[in-house]
Amino acid sequence: MKKFSIIAMMLAVSLMVFSCKSGNKTNNETTTTPVETVYQVDDVLANGDALIGEEVELEGVCTHICKHGGRKIFLMGSDDANTIRIESGDLGAFDQKCVNSIVRVKGKLVESRIDEAYLKAWEDKEKAKTAEKHGEGEAGCSTEKKARGENGNTALERIEGFRNRIKAEQEKSGKDYLSFYHIEATGYEIL
């Protein structure tokens, strides 16, 4: 019986040593530690509906930092037509070194909807000259416009462009709005 106890104890110690080593990754060894999903910009844009309100981690090339306080950056996916806005929130201004670097961001995915009520309110502000201005004059921020697929050079042209896109979306899917996504950052690092 004593011999069996010693063998059982040696087997238990061997298993513990082996299991501790299998979690360390060196060269071609696999790790047992779960890896968090790091999304690419294209993935977040393509699957945005399923990720709304979720904490996500994504990375992409930073193409622009907002000149008005540095609290927004834009990350590019596979091309400049796939871009997502990142807002710094409580983090303050983004580091200028983000531009032209790969940046990994953690944060919550937020959906912004543009519908007729949104466009009407924007149009009323434009007519009353109370609309907030961003970017390069009346045309708006070119990076933001590119991220949302806008073509107009004035606010009223941009509004009309959205109306046309909403009409096309409604014919295609029945939705009477357009969805755009951005990340409210809780952290970031320059890779």
How far is 58 from 103, CA to CA, in rounded Å? 8
Does the pTM of the predicted model rise above 0.75?
no
Residue, of 121 and 130, whose pLDDT is higher: 121
Strand 102-115 to 72-76 pairing: unpaired
pLDDT above 50: residue 84: yes
Listed range (21-30, 40-49, 120-129) with the worst mean pLDDT:
21-30
Residue 26 belongs to some domain of the structure:
no
Residue 32 lies in a domain: no
Does residue 175 belong to any structural domain of this protein? yes
CA 138 to chain centre: 27
Q: Tell me whether residue 22 is in a domain.
A: no
Domain presence at residue 24: no
What residue numbers bound the domain in which 124 lies? 39-190
Q: What's 132's DSSP letter?
A: P
Residue 188 is predicted with a pLDDT of 97
The structural domain count of the chain equals: 1
pLDDT surpassing 80 at residue 137: no
d(CA 60, CA 51): 17
- Establish if 128 belongs to a structural domain: yes
